A and B are shown apart, each in its own frame.
Chain A
Amino acid sequence: MTTEAKLPTKRYFEDVQVGDEIPRLVKAPVTHLQLVRYAGASGDFNPLHTDPKIGEMLGIGGIIAHGMLIMGFLGQLLSDYVGPTALRKFGVRFKSMTRLDDVITCSGTITEKYEADGEARIAGKVQAVDQNGDVKASGTFVAALPKRGGE
């Protein structure tokens, strides 16, 4: 695939301080087509994410996004920040349902810096909110970063 997207710049342990905010990620509005694509890509074909009739039947008022899509947005926030193989732990709790046209904004804060298992690590918290400020998912992560002049 050819793409104009740029690789995120490499981040070192020394560049990150407790209290730093991770650059926000604002996603395009969630669409029905996106949920169909996500179902096919992930393999989660639960019809409440793709079939409006099922959503009505279950009394949730139409289809809702896969929780894992929202975690995927948060994963994008983190992999842009630390790179694709730096995460050591990443967990979220799903707080409320995401619906079509919701605009999800992902944000995060660094809460800790420490050394463990011979690695320099950072820990932080992340959350995904919609256009009304309703929290869709919140969680925590741990990542290992290289030290300047090391390795």
Chain B
Amino acid sequence: MFDQSKIGQSFPPFTYQVERSKIHELNLAIGDENPLYHSKEAAQAAGYPDVPASPTTPTTFQFWGNTDFVKHLVAIGVNVMRIIHGEEEYEYLAPVYAGDVLTGVTTLVDGKSRQSKDGSSMDILTLETRYTNQSGQEVLKARQVLIVR
């Protein structure tokens, strides 16, 4: 059974500098050849201040910005080898560009135990990370559902 007393707990804030090369690398791996994600010149020619974050670039904010993320999950009792990613949702409040410095705070907003079809128990955790930029502007809310079997 998941320890419900952990709900509402936030992990320590982390900061992450959005890197042009990381946006480039992520989109190479995805196979997205849109020049805006690969060239500052192309981005500026199209009217953007720098390379914009692509829709799923925020995944790099989490894993590269919060390198203790797995450690924090272990600390609240999650067996990280049994995690399945159930859902991911982004709310884009303002554009994010290469060079921005983001601060993220992740909060466990929900956690419950459920019986799966085969009778075994699984935990369903919902985490929300709110990001602000170097001007203090809130730019992104990321919500993820992790299933721990």
A67 in the interface (beta carbon within 8 A):
yes
Task: Work out how many contacts link A and B, with CB atoms closer than 8 A.
Answer: 130
Contact A34 B60 (CB under 8 A): no
Q: How far is the CA of A1 from the CA of B23 in the complex (A)?
A: 13
Q: How far is the CA of A5 from the CA of B31 in the complex (A)?
A: 11
Contact B55 A44 (CB under 8 A): no
Contact A42 B29 (CB under 8 A): yes
* Chain A: interface residue total (CB-CB under 8 A): 41
Contact with B along A56-98 (1 / 0, CB 8 A): 0010000000111101111110111000110111111110000
A13 in the interface (beta carbon within 8 A):
no
B68 in the interface (beta carbon within 8 A):
no
Contact B60 A91 (CB under 8 A): no
Interface bin, chain B: 35 or more
Contact A38 B30 (CB under 8 A): yes
Contact B54 A89 (CB under 8 A): no
Contact B33 A3 (CB under 8 A): yes
Contact A84 B92 (CB under 8 A): no
Q: Which of B18-53 contact A (CB under 8 A)?
A: 22, 24-26, 28-39, 42, 46, 48, 52-53
B2 in the interface (beta carbon within 8 A):
no
Interface of A is mostly: mixed
Residues on the B chain within 8 Å of A90, using CB? 55, 89-90, 92
Contact A84 B37 (CB under 8 A): yes
Contact with B along A21-49 (1 / 0, CB 8 A): 00000011000001001101111101000
Residues on the B chain within 8 Å of A116, using CB? none
- What is the minimal beta-carbon distance from B142 to any residue of chain A, in angstroms? 10
B118 in the interface (beta carbon within 8 A):
no
- What is the minimal beta-carbon distance from A32 to any residue of chain B, in angstroms? 12
Q: Contact residues of B with A, CB < 8 Å?
A: 22, 24-26, 28-39, 42, 46, 48, 52-56, 59-60, 62-64, 67, 81, 83-92, 95, 143
